[in-house]
Amino acid sequence: MLAWLQELTRVGFRDQTVRVCVVPFASGQTPFRDIPLIVVGNIRKGWRYPETIAHELAHVLFNQNFKFKSDVEHPYVQLIEEEIAVRLGARAKYFDYEIPAFAEWVHKAQQMEKAWRRYLQHIEDFKDIPQFIKENEQQEKA
């Protein structure tokens, strides 16, 4: 999974140690931007621990390497999760679960799926994922 994260973002983890805590309440987050800690609790139907942890690890990777605002970063992290979930065999296709109403980043990621697939097909043309994000965000605004 870590190799896939690095492949999809074209960057590595600065700190190779990330603590993952599984707690008995609903949570899935990287609570402190500068501390590599992931808290994963009870997760919703259709989501599983491996891809949820991949999602949160992607946030750690982004936090260690880039300075995107959460509302920009989160849909791309979701697309990374979708790709990893499919690779793991956890989902037959992207967004193959009931999307909760509060998960606006997932809906935004759905709108970006076509651009994301182009990125995956031409990943060697990009220095790293920020180059793709910046270009994609500019195209969306145009």
Domain that holds residue 133: 2-141
Pairwise pLDDT comparison (48 vs 13), residue with the higher score: 13
Q: 10 with 128: CB under 8 angstroms? A: yes
What is the pLDDT at residue 42?
A: 63
The DSSP symbol for 124 reads G
Residue for token digits 């983890």?
Answer: 13
Q: 63 with 30: CB under 8 angstroms? A: yes
Residue for token digits 């709108």?
Answer: 111
User: Is residue 98's pLDDT more than 90?
Assistant: no
> Domain tally for the chain?
1
Reported as a single tens digit per residue, the pLDDT across 52-68 is 888 888 988 898 889 89
What is the pLDDT at residue 35?
A: 57
Q: 25 with 31: CB under 8 angstroms? A: no
Pairwise pLDDT comparison (2 vs 78), residue with the higher score: 78
Reported as a single tens digit per residue, the pLDDT across 3-29 is 999 999 999 888 777 777 666 555 555
